Amino acid sequence: DQQVKQNSPSLSVQEGRISILNCDYTNSMFDYFLWYKKYPAEGPTFLISISSIKDKNEDGRFTVFLNKSAKHLSLHIVPSQPGDSAVYFCAARGNSGYALNFGKGTSLLVTP
Amino acid sequence: GAGVSQSPRYKVAKRGQDVALRCDPISGHVSLFWYQQALGQGPEFLTYFQNEAQLDKSGLPSDRFFAERPEGSVSTLKIQRTQQEDSAVYLCASSLVGTSGATNEKLFFGSGTQLSVL
C-alpha cells in the first residue's frame, strides 16, 4: 500500500512560469517530508524539506507547503527553468522510523 | 570520493545466479541505506545500517537478499539465486548522522546499480 502518493506522473510547464508538484500521504505519523530531484542515470538528490511543525519552507526558487489536516504537500518552483526538467520524488518519514517512504515521482518538463 | 559510489553500474545476471552489489558511502557517514527502485516506481526501502550494525532489514523482500557493512564503511548487498522480479535499480544512500534524535538529516544517494535478470 502506497503511503505517499504523487498522482500526476508528468507535468509540462513553460519556462518562467510556476511549476506546482503535489503529494498526498496517508500515514498521520509522518512528521518530516522531503523532495528529491532525479536526472536520468543519476541517483536522487535532495532538494528541500519541511518538518511537520511548519507549514512552509522556502529556498530560493523552491518552496514547499505542508497542509497537515489535508495530509498534502506541494512543491512550487518559481520561475521554472529548463534545467529543472527532471523527475521529482516526494518522501516522508515518521519520527520513529529509519526508512523514507517515496512516492512514484512526477516527471517535470520545462519548455523554453 | 566526494559522493556515494556504487559498483557495478550495470549488472546482467542469468536467473539463478548470485550477485553482489557494492556501495562506498561518503567518508565518515554513519548511516547507510539500501533502496530498490523498480521501473516507474519510487525507491523502496530495503535495509538500514548505523555504522556496522544492521538496525532494520524489514524491507528485504526475501531471505535471498542479504546485506552487510562489516567495518562500518563499505556495504555489500548480495542477492542469491536471482529471479526476474529482482530486476531493478539498487540505490545506496548515506547520511552523516544516525537517525535517532536527528530527523532532519538528508540522504546522499549514489547513481545506483541497474540489475537485469534474464
The pLDDT assigned to A53 comes to: 92
- Chain B CB contacts of A46 under 8 Å are 106-108
Q: What is the mean pLDDT of each run of 10 residues along chain B (118 residues)?
A: 90 97 95 95 94 94 96 97 97 80 72 97
Is A4 a residue whose pLDDT tops 70?
yes
Residues 11-40 of B with CB under 8 A from A: 33, 35, 40
Looking only at the bridges linking them, the beta strands covering A30-38 and A45-51 are antiparallel
CA-CA distance, B117 to B21, in Å (whole number)?
14
Looking only at the bridges linking them, the beta strands covering B113-117 and B88-95 are antiparallel
Is B106's CB within 8 Å of A43's CB? no
What percentage of chain A reaches a pLDDT higher than 90?
A: 90
CA-CA distance, B108 to B9, in Å (whole number)?
17
The pLDDT assigned to B101 comes to: 46
Q: Name the amino acid, one letter, at B93.
A: A
Q: What is the mean pLDDT of residues A50-66?
A: 96
User: Are the beta carbons of A25 and A3 closer than 8 angstroms?
Assistant: yes
* Lookup: cell for B77: 548487498
| A51-55, A82-86, B88-92: least confidently modelled range | A51-55
**d(CA B70, nearest CA chain A) in Å:** 20
Is A97 a residue whose pLDDT tops 80?
no
Is A51's CB within 8 Å of B55's CB? no
Residue appearing with cell numbers 517515496: A102
The pLDDT assigned to B98 comes to: 63
